[in-house]
Amino acid sequence: MAAKPKVAFYWCASCGGCEETVVDLHEDVLKVVEAVDIALWPVALDFKLKDVQAWKPGEVAVAFINGAVRLSEQEEWVKLLREKCPLVVAFGSCAHLGGIPGLANDKTRDEIFANKYFRSPTVDNPGKTLPQEHCRVNGYELELPNFWKEVKTLDQVIEVDYYLPGCPPPTSTVAAAVGAILKGELPPKGSVLAPEKSLCESCPRKDSKPERLSISRFKRIATSIPDPEKCFLAEGYLCMGPATRSGCGERCLHGNMPCRGCFGPTPGSLDQGTKMLSTICSLGEADTDETAQAYADSLVDPLGTFYRFSLPASLLRRSRRQEPV
């Protein structure tokens, strides 16, 4: 029997949803286990370093890496995997674009620490104790890792061959990608393994999108009820569809909620947020300064919405008011 190809799963700063999506293959996961040997699984974060170091180059065919990168420890790991594996796939929104943890690039590390350990209404910390990289407790030396001041995407740290977008990537996309890799039927290096079109093009509500969309004021889901059939933007709800790549299975839309952009920018677009901004500008129905202002004011949290999943990958990368990197 020919040796089964070996694959590795590894995770950085992530939530575990990408691993769950693999388990959600259900019965098919047994087929995956039959087809490949898993040489490293996400839980093995800092584990088997020596084993990985001992891999012959190419012995493990592909590394699927999820999560954003923010620790030097993670950097060492992904660099090692890059060295050993002919193919590296950025798995999920966080590795691809920084993901929701990447929103931390809008805040400083000091703010994060102060909110967590000083300002929290339940924290009782009169001595202003802060977690330390090195500390001594009753003579015991203890260490904690240092954090980078910004969250990075995987390709800001190592070269990435392919991207599997989504938060998390749908199981069908994962299965298709694994199949394509095993068969060697791969698109050009650097490709995002998802359709080359925008979400609007595959949207189940696209027929309700008018020829010319125009919005005078945005509505919020908190205080109004969207029609279950109609185009969200046509109804005045901010939907990231125009600036977002298709391939997610339109899951949020089926749940009657607008897109938040987890599949990342549309093909050919450099920056999801600026693409959405230009869309919003062209949709605005405003002919006076007042109406334009009212339109702009009705749009809440553009940064956190346009870049919900992609701030570290954006042209901005992070807020510039922070302490120096």
Partner 1 sequence: MPERITINPITRLEGHGKIEIFLNDAGDVERAFFQVPELRGFETFCLGRPAEEMPRITPRICGVCPTAHHMASTKCLDDLWKVDPPPAAKKIRELAYSTFYVEDHYIHFFFLAAPDFVVGPTAPAAERNILGVIARVGMDIAGQVIRVRRECRQMLQTMMGKVIHPVFGVPGGVSRGISEEERKQFLETAKFAVEFAQFALKLFDDVVLKNKQYVDLILSDAYTHKTHYMGLVDENNKVSFYDGQVRVVDPAGKEVAKFHPRQYRDFIAEHVEPWSYVTFPYLKQVGWKGFVDGAASGIYRVAPLARLNAADGMATPLAQQAYDTMYATLGGKPAHATLATHWARLIEALYAAERMRELLEDPEITSKDIRTVPTATPEEGVGIVEAPRGTLIHNYWTDGDGILTRVNLIVATNHNAGPIAMSVEKAAKGMIRGGQVSEGLLNTVEMAFRAYDPCHACATHALPGKTPLLISIFDSQGKLLREIRRDG
- Enumerate residues 296-315 that contact partner 1 by CB under 8 A: 300-301, 303-305, 308
Q: How far is the CB of 188 from partner 1 (least distance, A)?
A: 29
φ, ψ for residue 147 (rounded to 5)?
-105, 140
Nearer to partner 1, 146 or 191 (CB): 146
**Residue in 4, 6, 24, 291 binding partner 1, rule: CB under 8 A:** 24
Q: For strands 6-11 and 37-40, give the pairing.
A: parallel
Residues 40-99 that bind partner 1 (CB under 8 A): 41-48, 71, 99
Q: Per-residue string for binding with partner 1, 109-128, x by CB under 8 A? A: --xx--xxx-xxxxxxx---
Residues 221-250 that bind partner 1 (CB under 8 A): 221-226, 228
Nearer to partner 1, 18 or 89 (CB): 18
Nearer to partner 1, 67 or 242 (CB): 67
Question: Distances from the Cα of 135 to the Cαs of 112, 138, 210, in angstroms?
Answer: 20, 10, 62
CA proximity to 204, closest of 164, 166, 167, 259? 259
Residues 145-164 that bind partner 1 (CB under 8 A): 145, 147
Residues 164-223 that bind partner 1 (CB under 8 A): 167-168, 220-223
DSSP state of 266: P
**Residue in 144, 172, 189, 206 binding partner 1, rule: CB under 8 A:** 144
| Alpha carbons 103 and 312: distance in angstroms, whole number | 8
Q: Do residues 7 and 39 make contact, with C-beta atoms less than 8 angstroms apart?
A: yes
**Residue in 213, 257, 296, 316 binding partner 1, rule: CB under 8 A:** 257
What DSSP element (H or E) covers 152? strand 147-152
Q: Do residues 62 and 87 make contact, with C-beta atoms less than 8 angstroms apart?
A: yes
Span interacting with partner 1, options 11-19, 76-84, 181-189, 279-287, rule CB under 8 A: 11-19
Other beta carbons within 10 angstroms of residue 83's beta carbon come to 12
